[in-house]
Amino acid sequence: MINRQDLNNRSRLGGVFSAANDAISLPEAHSSVRIPESASKFRRFLAFVGPGYMVSVGYMDPGNWATDLAGGAQFGFTLLAVILISNLMAVLLQSLAARLGIATGYDLAQACRAYFPRGVNLVLWLACEIAIIACDLAEVIGTAIALQLLFNIPLVLGACLSALDAFLLLLLMRLGFRWLEAFVIALLGIIAACFAIQIVAAEPSVRGILEGFIPSPVVLTNSDMLYIAIGIVGATVMPHNLYLHSALVQTRNYERTLDGKREAIAWSTLDSTIALTLALFVNAAILIVAASAFHGTGHQDVADISQAYTLISPLLGLGIASTLFAVALLAAGTNSTVTGTLAGQIIMEGFLHLRMAPWARRLLTRGLAIVPVVFVTLFYGAKGTGTLLVFSQIILSLQLPFAVIPLVWFVSSRQKMGKLVISHMTSVVAWGVAGLILILNFKLLYDTLVG
């Protein structure tokens, strides 16, 4: 534990923490990406491009597919507003996570360990681990379904094969962190291209889409719609991504001066904002395709990825649509496993200072996720895995306050952030977002227990 008086003294220099006296975040990649000196602003910005796209992976993983498909099929374009609001919340929160990592030299897990009592840290760590397992659950199911759809591999075998992603991460990390980022961005491009083609084939109502982006109070009064809406929030604003982003921004070798940190915050915020805009397109596209293909054609009960795969080609009149759907799902699942591994490593090292080989860490958490998937598949079949997929996103939403509240508390404190503290207005908005998340979660719990 770092001496708190020492931390308070350092805050006057523009950042309370100094990782020099403690473990650094992602040591194998820390400050490994060079920022070109005396280069144009555009070239310097390109050097910061990457972490935002790796974070955006979590905003279009298989868990998002489940909630977006269910929302589009059941309620048409109505929940587009929830996707938009969730994305705006994500843009704000991810920018705060990047600011924390750059300003302090600590990721969110390390910051919690430095400032909170041991008991609080234990609760926060357990909440993070539950979120990681829930996210892994979605990745296992999504990857297994994609392998079944494309190669007719049984779900149980596909779930077990998904554990091999630990070795993919090892290979990419050995090649260098920029190679890892390039791999992730390439798969994101494949996902976006697949859905762009499907949207063209779906020929959705432009008026319906525009009206869908206008918030409707019916979301709060319809319990079924609220359940899906909260799942969308949980699938979009991923709690472990806040820990991940605060560490990834430290892979850049920017000047650790006040001006250098301010520039890094500006470029990193722009990077994540652009990347999350892409995630907004993908999430909205999934819901729009589902609304166009299923909602108006008597298939409102489609909430299962396998069902959607079977129906999408004949309903859209595009033979390749189902294949594109499955390819995009496999790309999303693969991408999510890579970034989920890093998030798990950051959380374990930050809270516990316990180092474990990435492949061992991944196999451990993936094993915890595979067991319920295998159990549900054997006893309830593919439909059971679809229900489990949506439920995993509800779990993520319930874990959000455990990440959001500490983050906002840190970046709002001048004592902890020094001259890089957020403005009063930004702080008010950030606490408002945290409050909204709490209200939605309490509403969900009340409806579940009472209803």
Q: What is the pLDDT of residues 19-41, one digit of tens each?
A: 444 568 778 888 888 898 888 88
Tens digit of pLDDT for each residue in 223-238? Answer: 788 878 877 776 667 7
The whole-number pLDDT of residue 343 equals 83
CB 265 within 8 A of CB 37: no
The whole-number pLDDT of residue 422 equals 95
Residue 48's pLDDT is 94
Residue 384: what pLDDT? 64
Domains belonging to the chain, first-starting first, are 4-8+20-450 (1.20.1740.10)
Percent of the chain with pLDDT over 90: 29
pLDDT for 109-143, tens place per residue?
999 999 999 999 998 888 888 877 777 777 777 88
- Residues 315-322: contacts with CB within 8 Å, 24+ apart? 316/198, 316/201, 316/202, 316/289, 316/292, 317/201, 318/197, 318/198, 318/201, 320/197, 321/197, 321/198, 321/201, 322/149
Q: Looking at residues 56-75, what average pLDDT do you find?
A: 81
What confidence score (pLDDT) does residue 338 get? 78
3-state DSSP assignment of residue 29: coil
pLDDT tens sequence across 274-302: 999 998 998 899 899 888 888 877 777 77
Q: Which of 63, 325, 336, 72 is nearest to 193 (CA)?
A: 325
Chain mean pLDDT for the chain: 82
313 is written with which tokens? 């080609």
Q: What is the CA radius of gyration of the chain?
A: 21
Q: What confidence score (pLDDT) does residue 20 get?
A: 41
Classify residue 27 by its DSSP letter: T
Distance CA 322, CA 305 (A): 11
- For residue 147, what are the CA distances in angstroms to 64, 160, 188, 330? 18, 11, 18, 7
Report the run of H or E that residue 322 belongs to, with start and end: helix 321-352
Q: How far is C-alpha 384 from the chain's CA centre?
A: 24
Angle at 183 between CA 364 and CA 104, to 5 degrees: 70
pLDDT tens for residues 180-190? 899 999 999 99
The highest-confidence range among 161-175, 193-207, 341-355, 357-371, by mean pLDDT, is 193-207
CA atoms within 13 A on the CB side of 213: 14
